[in-house]
Structure 1
């Protein structure tokens, strides 16, 4: 019998119905039946072909009874006569806009030879995320695979909302790549438990490498933040797989060559800081006039930069030194190279409710969303006002507007009895506002 020609995922012709693909099941999960959560309704999968192209796929359980035993991760398959539809999911787990449907006419067989790489990693360089021109995008972008060294765990806690009996379980830490770019990673629920389990079982472990596969990211609070995508994401911690082993060897070689770098495991770097998310309902009455509305941020890590004067050998080779003013970042590793900066919006606002008034901080993402204007436009047209202690006239549109603000109260606020809380989310949705008004009516 003549073997059917194999069509690569990138070459699928929507006008052709009879074709054969050969793929590896990189990821697989199930959806329960609507009326019986113990019964499988369908299988969702991510396929990868020999070229590394990935595409989402699904099959109803009733159509998969013959080959259901083959539907498992890392299984290689030959599939004849699948159908191709639009991927209309709001959150996509791969970049393709198409989705494979294994229907009742599809034939699925095991394939014994390897197809593509074993794990299907497609790592995104940190610098391409940090330098994304669309840094103030409003929603998470996905998918993303990242690999990095754990340099610091800044938060490992269970946050409980007193108005909600359900606990929010998350862990946040910092990953660094081989070029010393850093990003924040926040993992939720089972993924957070996975980090804590590793920490508990390996208390003295150093040189921890983490892979986040099928994650999502966005620019928030002055930082790039990577998070898990529901239950689709995979997290690997110091796993014995080639990509992690090679990355660790390269990183250890770097830190061995320089005693100025010191890295430790999760346990010794964890800061368990009391922090609680609360919601307040109030009206923006004014801006904190003593503060400016933007800051100069390091392009590598987005932390605030300062100017400093250093002595530098004269460029003409003559004796003596010249005093040169340069930028200095709060992150030590950024100062190992030339620091460059970019202005970022950060607006201090005075918010009033029936109990008093408090200072909150709105960051760039929320400001541009509320004003329906780009960050570049605000900065280019108004940056000269900063020297005069004035705010852009566009900001006046925020005054006397009532919002529900979600803020985080940390140990610094409690210890020093200080306000200046950062706003993580806000809304003026009428239904939410009405419900909160009713809840706070007693005041």
Structure 2
């Protein structure tokens, strides 16, 4: 009995050793991601089950099972399940998005057999960290699938309604995250990911510092800004899950802000309705009188109210409300519209660049609010 088991173990191949010219082998894998493709005419019927397999060495490969084989395997094909698969098919990966470094994929077909694996010795997860700075600084191309990002969620905006290419409706959620180095990056989550994240952020029992991991995320360009989004297929989102990577990140972040002189009890993950609210509720604001206490080079926002204009100083001038060009007041002589020889002296504003006069109503005076620009 022991010799037979040893022979079976010897037959198991690692994913890096697979040969496309043969299917007479077995693999021991864990399903680390899963996505269902539904039939267009029947949203309750699965057309294909897409997966990502990981072997005990941490190597990953895309896999699929068509609807005609799901009846045979569906009870075994579960997320995070460990399986022993014999005689799968290996072919070129023609998927539009490549979620692993391999150019081939595994398919389960009629001669394939699948059973639960009870002696898994591989890792629970395999995360390859990517720096946020590489995403923001254009070091990773748009639409590139990336392994994992480890973030603290700083700001979560409102859930939004979206329209898809197939005219169906969806949900979108914008986040602003940062890593341990303080690098910030916009993140966009779609559909189920957006709904789950928004619900968690509004849960009164959630943790103060919300840490998320996006497995198989994608670099994107959204509203002119480089960031990250979940893919519509095989991405996986971990929100404050009890795994070592998240626990370690939160511990290091808390230690860092605790040792920083700028830390305070208000720091944490926030839910706000809009970018304008974020600006008005920014906890980094300080009174003008305290600007001299800043000891490090940084950008600051000064929010104040204009209470008076010193018109005897040379640092200001009037500008056009539309084009912002500098203007000056002049009295001009205009002929009457009736063609008579009488003339009218009217007040006008003259642009500096185009020398184009702008008529000013009789009620205009220097007390009228105007736009100002520094010279």
Which of 46, 49, 52 aligns to 1:43? It is 49
- 1:141 equivalenced with 2:154 (yes/no): no
CA deviation after TM superposition for structure 1 residue 205, in Å: 3.9
Tell me: CA distance 1:115–1:27, structure 2 relative to 1, closer, same or farther (3 Å): farther
Match of residue 233 from structure 1: 235
Structure 1 residue 259 corresponds to structure 2 residue 265: no
Question: Structure 1 residues 178, 31: CA separation in 2 closer, same or farther (over 3 Å shift)?
Answer: same
Q: How does 1:396-411 map to 2 (within 5 A)?
A: none
Give the 3-state SS of the residue equivalent to 1:114 in structure 2: coil
Q: CA deviation at 1:86?
A: 1.3
What are the superposed Cα offsets for residues 97-151 of structure 1, whole Å, 9 maximum, x if unpaired?
21101111112111012353223433323233344446xx4x4221432111122
Q: Secondary structure at the match of 1:21?
A: strand
5 Å matches for 1:205-284?
205-219=207-221, 223-262=225-264, 264-267=267-270, 270-273=272-275
1:77 is aligned to 83
CA–CA distance in 2 between the matches of 1:264 and 1:192?
23
Q: Which structure: greater helix fraction?
A: 1
Cα distance in 1 for partners of 2:23, 2:241 equals: 41
Q: 1:166 to 1:221 in 2, by over 3 A?
A: closer
Cα offset, 1:172, TM superposition: 1.4
Structure 1 CA distance for aligned equivalents of residues 116 and 323 of structure 2: 63
Report the counterpart of residue 357 of structure 2 in structure 1. none
Change (3 A) 1:18 1:205: closer
- Structure 1 counterpart of 2:97: 91
Q: 1:48 to 1:331 in 2, by over 3 A?
A: farther
> Which blocks of at least 5 consecutive residues in structure 2 are unaligned?
278-291, 302-321, 325-370
Partner of 1:189: 191
C-alpha distance in 1 between matches for 2:176 and 2:248: 20
1:175 and 2:181 matched = no
Contact 1:158 1:167 in 2 (8 A): no
Task: Note the C-alpha offset of 1:89.
Answer: 1.4
Q: Check whether the contact 1:49–1:115 (CA below 8 A) recurs between aligned residues.
A: no
Q: How many pairs are equivalent?
A: 279
Shift of 1:180: 1.9
Moved over 6 A (4+): none
Q: In the superposition, relative to structure 1, how do residues 127 and 51 fare at CA in structure 2: closer, same or farther (>3 Å)?
A: farther
> Hey, what's the Cα distance between the residues in 2 that align with 1:123 and 1:211?
10
2-structure distance, mates of 1:14, 1:143: 26
Q: Give the match for residue 119 of structure 2.
A: 113
1:37 Cα deviation (Å)? 3.3
Change (3 A) 1:165 1:236: same
Given the superposition, is the C-alpha separation of residues 159 and 82 from structure 1 closer, same or farther in structure 2, using an over 3 Å criterion?
closer
Secondary structure of the corresponding residue to residue 257 of structure 2: helix
Q: State which drifts further: 11-20 or 247-256.
A: 11-20
Structure-2-length-normalised TM-score: 0.65
CA distance in 2, matches of 1:261, 1:86: 52
1:94 CA drift (Å): 2.5
1:63 aligns with 2:65: no
Tell me, yes or no, if the aligned pair for 2:73 and 2:114 is still in contact at 8 Å.
yes
- Contact kept? 2:147, 2:217, Cα under 8 Å: yes
Q: CA deviation at 1:51?
A: 1.6
Q: Equivalents in 2 of 1:165, 1:41: separation in Å? A: 20
Q: What are the ranges of 5 or more consecutive residues in structure 1 without an aligned counterpart?
A: 276-309, 311-325, 333-356, 360-417, 419-443
Matches within 5 A, 1:360-399: none
- Tell me, yes or no, if structure 1 residue 102 matches structure 2 residue 108: yes
Paired with 1:177 and 1:21, the residues of 2 have a C-alpha distance of 37
Pick the aligned partner of 2:38 from 15, 32, 42: 32
